[in-house]
Amino acid sequence: MSRLRTLLVGDPTAARIVPPSGFTAVLTIASAAAMAFLAVFAIALQLATGELAARWEAELKGTATVRIPAAEDSEGRADAVLAALKQTPGIVAARRMSDEEQAVLLAPWFGEGIPLDKLRLPTLIEVTETAEGPDLTGLSERLSAEAPGTIYDNHSRWRVPLSDAASRLRQLGGIALFLIGGVTAVTIALAASSALAANGQVIDVLRIVGAKDGWIAAAFTRRFTLRGFFGALAGTFLAMIAVSMIPSGVEAGVLSGLGFDGAEWLLPLLVPFFAAALAFGATWVVAARRLRQDG
């Protein structure tokens, strides 16, 4: 408790042995700000991938599409398939998609104004399943008997890769946070070591007059901890502003989910405190080790 109070309040006499400005100060503040900026985006990426995976799962789960190849008797084949679907346990509803809906689905590949009357497009039926779903093997055989070549697609081949991709992205976000923390600690440790080396003669004089190594280490630790905290605080706020400027909505595409919502905006505010903790640990270890070697 006394160390925490000393860290927050400080000792004006001890603070004089640590240079308030210079290369080490700029390096510590700049690196903490840059790492905090990246950390906020890594957190936003993790949240976005989680929400994206949940949205994909919700949109694809419990739905299926039946594709009937184009043929001369397409209407009769479609009616037979619809009747079979409505009689199948595990299916809540089934409806034939209109030409306009198919045109919307094809628009991203062929553009607007597709001449559907000149194309032999398959008949599509949208199916809503129960939680248990139908017996896929038996249903596929029955649909093939009603209309040869009919395919029942429950979107499982899309759901699994999408869920795996979202999971890998979350893992990459966690790895990125780990690497950011490691680089921050190493950079601050190097800056603290440089400051200790630059003040070697002052430290020797302090030892001669009776200063304890713990008192000297605390002076360096407090200064570098505060530098790390305020540098990370600046980087965090800059990153939060940048994230808030990312467009949202369907027109934003993949970036539409990148950001924070509601209480999630509190998460980036933890970054400066983690940066301060890393700076405290890195500086204390370096200072204690350096003073022990010199002693």
Amino acid at 159: R
Question: How far apart, in Å, are the Cα atoms of 12 and each of 15, 17, 216, 279?
Answer: 5, 10, 12, 20
What are the boundaries of each domain within the chain? 2-57+166-294, 62-154
Print pLDDT tens along the chain (295 aa).
555 555 555 555 555 656 565 777 888 899 999 999 999 998 988 888 777 777 766 666 777 888 888 876 777 888 888 888 888 888 888 888 887 777 777 776 666 766 666 677 788 888 888 877 788 888 888 888 888 888 888 777 777 777 777 778 888 888 999 999 999 999 998 888 888 887 777 777 777 777 777 777 888 888 889 899 999 999 999 999 998 887 765 444 455 567 788 888 899 999 999 999 999 999 888 888 877 776 5
Kind of pairing between the strands at 63-68 and 123-129: antiparallel
Q: How far apart are CA 248 and CA 246, in angstroms?
A: 6
Please answer whether residues 152 and 68 qualify as being in contact, where contact means their C-beta atoms are separated by less than 8 angstroms. no
Burial class from Cβ neighbours inside 10 Å (0-12, 13-18, 19+) for residue 164 reads: exposed
Q: How far apart are CA 49 and CA 40, in angstroms?
A: 14
CATH of 62-154, one of 3.40.50.720, 3.30.499.10, 3.30.70.100, 3.10.450.50: 3.30.70.100
